[in-house]
Structure 1
Amino acid sequence: MLFHVAMTVKLPRDLPAEEAAGIIAREKAYAQDLQRQGKWRHIWRVAGQYANVSIFDVSDNDELHQILSGLPLFPFMEIEVTPLLRHPSAIREDDS
């Protein structure tokens, strides 16, 4: 199943810089591993914000929930999830 996921990060201003850097480094490693597995298919930065728009390809809602709740930045995120379905007018067969 494909999901459009919009994530906005809101780190507390009083979070120590060293702690924030550690969380961000763990987040990057986790995200890149999911990309290598093909579960996090696309990620785009939203210009001017600490935010991204991503496409996940997972088996079901539960798997997506497990992945998102496992993000090191999860406690500091606002997340919006939209399930995606193939459009009947789409011409590409390899993007379902």
Structure 2
Amino acid sequence: MLYLVHMIVNIPATLAPEEAARIKADEKAYSQQLQHAGRWPHLWRVVGEYANYSVFDVDSNDELHDTLSKLPLFPFMKITVTPLAKHPSSIV
């Protein structure tokens, strides 16, 4: 199943810079692991924002929730999920 996921990150200014750097490094490693596994095939930065639009390819709503909740930046994110279905006019 494909999902369009919009993530907006808001790390509090009170978080120690070293801790923020560690969390971001963990986030990068986890996200790249998911990308290599084919579960996160598209990741796009939103220009001018600390946000992204991503496409996830997972088997269920529960798997997506589990995947997103394991993101190290999850506690600092606002996430919107849109399930996707094949468009009848699509040639792909």
Match of 1:88?
A: 88
Match of 1:79?
A: 79
Specify the code of the residue in structure 2 equivalent to 1:17.
Answer: P
- Offset at residue 54 of structure 1 (A): 0.1
- Provide the C-alpha distance between the structure 1 equivalents of 2:2 and 2:29, rounded to a whole number of angstroms: 22
Match of 1:38?
A: 38
- Offset at residue 50 of structure 1 (A): 0.3
Specify the code of the residue in structure 2 equivalent to 1:35.
Answer: Q
- Offset at residue 35 of structure 1 (A): 0.2
Structure 1: gaps spanning 5 or more residues: none
Match of 2:68?
A: 68
Specify the code of the residue in structure 2 equivalent to 1:68.
Answer: L
Match of 2:10?
A: 10
Specify the code of the residue in structure 2 equivalent to 1:30.
Answer: Y
Pairwise CA RMSD: 0.3
- Offset at residue 32 of structure 1 (A): 0.2
Q: Give aligned pairs, total.
A: 92
Runs of 4+ in 1 over 4 A off after TM superposition: none
Structure 2: gaps spanning 5 or more residues: none
User: TM-score, structure 1 length as denominator?
Assistant: 0.95
Percent identity reads 62
